[in-house]
A and B are shown apart, each in its own frame.
Chain A
Amino acid sequence: MTTTNLSPQEEQSPVTQTESKEAQRYYSATQFQLIWWRFRKHRLGQAGALILLTMALAGLFAEFFGPYSGITRTSEAVLVAPQAPRFCNDDGCALRPFLPGVTAERNMETLRMETKIDLSVRRDIYFFIKGEEYKLLGIFKMNTHLFGIEEGSIHLFGTDSLGRDIFSRALLATRTSLSIGIFGVIIAFVLALVIGGTAGYFGGGLDYGIQRLTEVVRVIPVIPLYMGLAAAFPKEWSSTQVYFAMTLVLALVGWPTLARRIRGKLLSLRGEDYVIAARLSGAGPSRIIARHLLPAFMSYIIVDLVISFPFMLLSETALSFVGLGLRPPTVSWGVLLQDAQTVRAIEQAPWLFIPALFVIIAVLSFTVLGDGLRDAADPYQVSN
């Protein structure tokens, strides 16, 4: 309510005599504490944060969590459907999960291969099993995997047309896609800070010029612009070069929105008394921006950064999907989905779409996390 005396703000002015401990804690809290307290009430946002944290850890230690390396081919297991671990068969139940035996037979009417599950065969799943060698975090030589199987192979999410384990590859892709998002957002933020900060702090003709530039970047359709930049990657570039070029491309297109926000905030703040006071006492522009202006709207910027993630992830996926982004052997969500470009893929091997679930879950998580943080970042706003 915006009206007369129905507004809750007025009614909740502090009581002088009987100020509770809680109220005192509230008034003396720093901005980040306030945000944290409010965020803790936002269940959905927390769920998003938790999922993202899990994804990040799974991606970081992908070689440990996945039973195989991303390029291991199992020639006898091409386009295998996802295998669900079981605990029970006719012999009874056990704590140790196992994979049932599978027999494949050609159906003579449809001429399709049909698989039958043979529950009497028990292939036990072992934890912390020794398997392929890898370097954890690229440093520690190890060969222990979280789980694995001794006879045959285990493919929780199935395999692709080359017999590669989709579960292991999806974890590796999570690392690539999330890290590209993170680097993209960081570079975009630095660009936005420099460009938007210059425009907002100095104003005038410089501001006008920068405003025009941001407007131009904003009116060109985003994905076609990305594509144009990505199309310029030389074919002979290594996958590492393409990876870094991609982060740069994502950042180059992602900065204007952030820059506008920073500029707007700076323009409104630079007239504040405390900023003028700082200027009068001889502080230079960079000190004023870093010391006095940035902290005043840092929380908003963090929210903006979180909100810009989904766009980076979706853009990377889309570009790689059409073949203009990352290229094999790099594994990312978009690269994995290249295998699933046709309707035939849905019919024959729908599990090839499992990486898309990762994209959806990650984007949803970032969105709800962003919403939660945005609600929390307005600490003095009284909830209705």
Chain B
Amino acid sequence: MANPKQNTDDNLLEVKNLKISFKTDEGIITAVDGIDFSVKRGQTLGIVGESGSGKSVSTWSIMRLLPKNSIIDKNSSIKFQRKSGKVVEMTKFKKNGRELRKIRGGEVALIFQEPMSSFSPVYTIGNQIMEAVLHHRDVTKKEAEEIAVDMLDRVGISNPRQRFKQYPYELSGGMRQRAMIAVALSMNPSLLIADEPTTSLDVTIQAQILELMNELQEDLGMSIIFITHNLGVIAQVADEINVMYLGKIVERGTTKDIIHEPKHPYTQALLKAIPRLDRIGERLTAIRGDIPSPLSRPTGCPFYTRCGKVIPGVCDVKMPESTHLSDTHTVYCFLHEEKDV
């Protein structure tokens, strides 16, 4: 469906019709509602959306890390090409099974928004890097330590041998995120999922980390899924961008498509909400209203309750189909349906 002209052999990851729900006291909540996306080898896919749009849920599901009360729909498919070349279906793995554990860390790695809480406070940084190395490679403790120190050095941590013995609370926030990246990359994964990796950092550190990630991607040739709510950040790293709203992808395209020719009213609104150096003097506009509760999902287009260009009787009745504006640019909006190529 998505990117029909694209050579599928080139895809490291292909997600089709992904639907994820959660069983809660209040009933079944659908967090991700039938989305497709794919990640090409060596490229960066950006996923943008507000809190609650389902962007983290959909990427965590790739590694099958969702909590016990989550349900991945049986028609969903997550196909991942392993280093061996074999394509595996991630949804079919036994929970926490052997093959899944080999892929976790070894081939797909994950870094989080909060480097403080993603490290355990009672073990040293070195211990937690070595753990990953020891689990995936047949090396001695001494060799694992060398790999870990080398990796710390590589992500730009000074005095790596000393840092190795330190506890997470003894490091600064930026330092911890670098260490987290070191843990993730120590196994040389083919896919790195970065879940808001820079959100909790201040702006200068944020820029350093983004630069580091770009560098490392060039060196190691991995693919990245970069999740953020900040379009300004994603423009610096992504090749392709998917915009998510309330469990649906509403627009996808190359970074250029999305940043320069946003078509969906939601994408346009998001872009107006970030400060830009080239538009000094313009007012920032917040998107009116709040994201609806997933318990009471709107019928029809999910965004109609907050959309400035809502077409009454249409948007609130049915979900818009995909409209292909170009080879790379797709939007799900009634405003553009007649322009289908």
A16 in contact with B56 (CB, 8 Å): no
Residues of A contacting B293 in the complex (Cβ-Cβ under 8 angstroms) = 11-13, 15
- Does B195 sit at the interface, judged by CB under 8 A? yes
Q: How many A residues touch the partner, as a band?
A: 10 to 19
Choose, from A2-10, A126-134, A189-197, the stretch at the interface.
A2-10
How long is the Cα–Cα vector from A82 to B289 in the complex, in angstroms? Answer: 69
Partner of A13, one of B67, B112, B113, B291: B291
What DSSP secondary structure best describes chain A's contact surface? Answer: loop
A4 in contact with B195 (CB, 8 Å): yes
A3 in contact with B112 (CB, 8 Å): yes
A11 in contact with B112 (CB, 8 Å): no
- Does B242 sit at the interface, judged by CB under 8 A? no
In the complex, per-residue mask of B101-138: 1 if CB is within 8 Å of any chain A CB, else 0: 00000000000111001000000000000000000000
Residues of B contacting A18 in the complex (Cβ-Cβ under 8 angstroms) = 296, 305
Partner of A4, one of B112, B288, B290, B296: B112
With contact pairs A15-B296, A17-B305 given, residues A4 and B56 touching in the complex (Cβ less than 8 Å) = yes
- Does A381 sit at the interface, judged by CB under 8 A? no
With contact pairs A11-B293, A11-B294 given, residues A2 and B117 touching in the complex (Cβ less than 8 Å) = yes
**A to B contact number (C-beta, < 8 Å):** 52
How long is the Cα–Cα vector from A10 to B53 in the complex, in angstroms? Answer: 11
Residues of A contacting B56 in the complex (Cβ-Cβ under 8 angstroms) = 3-6
How long is the Cα–Cα vector from A4 to B58 in the complex, in angstroms? Answer: 13
- Does A328 sit at the interface, judged by CB under 8 A? no
Residues of B contacting A15 in the complex (Cβ-Cβ under 8 angstroms) = 289-290, 292-293, 296, 305
**Which has the most chain A C-beta neighbours within 10 Å: B50, B52, B113, B294?**
B52
In the complex, per-residue mask of A143-165: 1 if CB is within 8 Å of any chain B CB, else 0: 00000000000000000000000
Partner of A384, one of B24, B53, B288: B24
B52 in contact with A11 (CB, 8 Å): yes
A41 to B: closest C-beta gap in Å: 9
- Does B285 sit at the interface, judged by CB under 8 A? no
In the complex, per-residue mask of A1-34: 1 if CB is within 8 Å of any chain B CB, else 0: 1111110101111111110000000000000000
B294 in contact with A17 (CB, 8 Å): no
B57 in contact with A13 (CB, 8 Å): no
B55 in contact with A1 (CB, 8 Å): no
Identity of the chain A residue whose Cβ is nearest the Cβ of B296 in the assembled complex: A15
Within 8 A of B (CB), among A216-255: none
How long is the Cα–Cα vector from A57 to B84 in the complex, in angstroms? Answer: 75
Partner of B67, one of A1, A11, A12: A1
- Does B240 sit at the interface, judged by CB under 8 A? no
- Does A383 sit at the interface, judged by CB under 8 A? yes
**Which has the most chain B C-beta neighbours within 10 Å: A1, A3, A11?**
A11
In the complex, per-residue mask of B43-57: 1 if CB is within 8 Å of any chain A CB, else 0: 000000011110111
**Which has the most chain B C-beta neighbours within 10 Å: A4, A8, A10?**
A4
How long is the Cα–Cα vector from A383 to B289 in the complex, in angstroms? Answer: 25
- Does B282 sit at the interface, judged by CB under 8 A? no
Residues of A contacting B289 in the complex (Cβ-Cβ under 8 angstroms) = 15-17
Within 8 A of A (CB), among B247-305: 288-296, 305
Residues of A contacting B305 in the complex (Cβ-Cβ under 8 angstroms) = 15, 17-18
With contact pairs A17-B305, A384-B24 given, residues A5 and B292 touching in the complex (Cβ less than 8 Å) = no
Interchain Cβ contacts under 8 Å between A and B, 12 examples: A4-B56, A4-B112, A4-B199, A5-B52, A6-B57, A8-B24, A12-B293, A12-B295, A13-B290, A15-B290, A15-B305, A18-B296
Binding site for B on A (CB under 8 A): 1-6, 8, 10-18, 383-384
Top 5 closest A-B pairs, CB basis? Answer: A5-B51, A11-B52, A10-B51, A16-B289, A4-B113
7 more contacts with CB within 8 A, not counting A4-B112, A4-B199, are: A1-B67, A3-B113, A6-B56, A13-B291, A15-B305, A16-B288, A16-B289
